Amino acid sequence: MELIEIKEKLAEHLNTKFLTAPYLFIGSGLSKRYLGLENWEELLARYCKIVEKPFRYYKDSSEGDLGKVASNLSSDFFDVWWKSSDYKDSREEYEKIDVKIVDKSLPLKYEIAQYLKTVDIIDTLSKLDDSLKRELELLKKASVDGIITTNYDLLIESIFPDFKPFIGQSEMLFGRSHNIAEIYKIHGCCSKFNSLVLTYEDYEDFNSRNSYLAAKLLTTFVDHPVIFMGYKLGDKNINAIIEEIVKAIGTENVSKLQDRLIFIKRGESIDFARSSHTVNHSIISTITIETNSFIPIFEALGTIKRKVPAKIARLFKEQFYELSVTNNPSEKLCVRDIESLSDSSDVEFAIGIGVATSDKGYRCIDIKELIEDFLNDDLALNVEYVLKYTIPKAKTHGRNKSIPIFKYLNADHIDSEEKYQSKKQYFSTEIIDLVENGFSNATANPAQRKLSLILELDIQWATKLAYIASLKKEEIINDLDELLALLKELNKIIWSADQNAISNFKRLVAIYDRLKFAWDERKR
């Protein structure tokens, strides 16, 4: 069989049998292939040299169980680490860390994490031969919905920088995941050294919660093809997870996993074969691919077409979730080509359900909603519709003149008398009246004639508000920042106050708007 056949067969399998892109389940073989890092056994052997005992000593005394090897090794390493001058700097850094749960394995985990964090991934990858570089280029372009990995290092994050990592079982179970564009580091990560699943005790704890992990991964395995890479066939940890998933879905539903599990075996021969996996007395039809190059695998993944990139799909799900469970609507709207997004924090989504002519909704926005929008640092409402519908409607009610207008005109690029006159013919009579007539200056005489001094008075806030509302404009203009801070604070409570307080508040909003944004006032 030729490599091109591997690509064609896998591409056909993924594109014709499934509606979703695959998940990758990645083991240490990939980190060894691209970064030259050790597998679990080799990593432990590296630290055996430090305690001056051969790895074979630990392996034989632990009956070949690598978890027990790690437990015994970490116990010996603990004494060396705390005494040796070689680890003085490490101990000083370690002392600064607040670790909730402590045990003798932490020094070994700390050093392993430090070692993996110091790997210069960019430099190491730049020195790979051309075929391996080509593999990574294709992997970066592959259509995958997510990654599951038992690796501690940071290779996967460098390949998929837009994917959100979840470290350890706890983050997976209790973090806010959305099952797309995410990396599940189920055995921990070097970025959090105490998250590493390393010793026999760690694995006992991990396995005791396997059923919870399986429940979390259940929809992944049932809804997606899962491609295993970098593991030896028959890996006991992988088998344990698959067993728990089969247990969770029930033997009567095992058929739902048929052809979804794809195992990539690195070898000199090239083969694409159907095989079977026996789990809990149930037989699952799987696919095993043997290849000496991952190029056809990653090329096949690149043939999967999506309407929306995974990172954007995750962002959408995340913000839709936020919208459904919180009271804070989006404050930013952005229309951009989704492929051009480099930072997902640049954009938030808005979802509308209703008639297509959305401008009608702006006729229904009341003065409270308008003022809340006005007080935001960035206007969220559509400025054109606010000027066309919302403000004229608000002014009609009670012939009210305590309405902010100039900030919206400025946002519509009308920031001078000349520009206003050139557009005046397009404005409603309500807009013209607000701009040209506004409201009369105050005539009352409060206890103090300076805003900052009124704020210092030991009186009720409603009285302060009344005093400030009775000031003349020229007595406020030098304290606009203080006025804005007061308005933002009062906006949280004012709408449940009495009508006089609300009227004074709205008047001050309009005063602030004119003094801050009106072109004739800015000339003062």
Which bin fits 312, alpha (ψ -120 to 50), beta or left (φ > 0)? alpha
Its pTM stands at 0.63
At 357 the pLDDT is 40
- Structure confidence by residue, pLDDT tens digits, 377-408: 778 888 888 898 888 888 775 567 789 999 99
**Do residues 334 and 391 share a domain?**
no
Asked whether residue 255 falls in the same domain as residue 288, the answer is yes
**Cβ atoms within 10 Å of 372's Cβ, excluding its own:** 16
Q: Tell whether 366 is covered by a domain.
A: yes
Does residue 279 fall inside a structural domain?
yes
Residue 521 has pLDDT above 60, yes or no: yes
CB-side neighbour CA atoms (13 Å) of 112: 35
* Residue 124: inside a domain: no
Q: How confident is the model at residue 331 (pLDDT cuts 50, 70, 90)?
A: very low
49 and 98 part of one domain: yes
- Mean pLDDT computed over every residue of the chain: 85
Residue 421 has pLDDT above 70, yes or no: yes
The answer, yes or no, to whether residue 337 has pLDDT greater than 70, is no
CATH code of 28's domain: 3.40.50
Same domain, 112 and 188: no
Tell me the pLDDT band of 409, cut-offs 50, 70 and 90. Answer: very high
* Domain final position from 240, 274, 306: 306
**Residue range 157-181, pLDDT digits in tens:** 999 998 999 999 888 877 777 778 8
Interhelix angle 200-208/210-223, rounded to 10 degrees, is 60
Q: Do 24 and 166 belong together in one domain? A: yes
Residue 369, CA distances (Å) to 366, 374, 385, 483 in order: 6, 9, 14, 19
Confidence of residue 355 (pLDDT cuts 50, 70, 90): very low
pLDDT value of position 170 = 83
Assigned token pair, 341: 């997004």
Q: State the total domains in the chain.
A: 4
**pLDDT score of 524:** 46
pLDDT tens by residue, 7-66: 999 999 999 999 889 999 999 999 999 999 999 999 999 999 999 999 999 999 999 999
In the chain, the percentage of residues whose pLDDT exceeds 70 is 85
| pLDDT for res 187 | 96
Average pLDDT over residues 182-187: 95
334 has pLDDT over 60 = no
Residue 360 pLDDT greater than 70, yes or no: no
**Structural domain span for residue 25:** 3-34+129-306
Indicate whether 10 and 70 sit together in one domain. no
Round to whole Å and give the CA distance between 497 and 368. Answer: 13
Q: What's residue 332's pLDDT?
A: 46
Give the pLDDT band (50/70/90) at residue 465: confident
Check whether residue 337 and residue 380 sit in a common domain: no
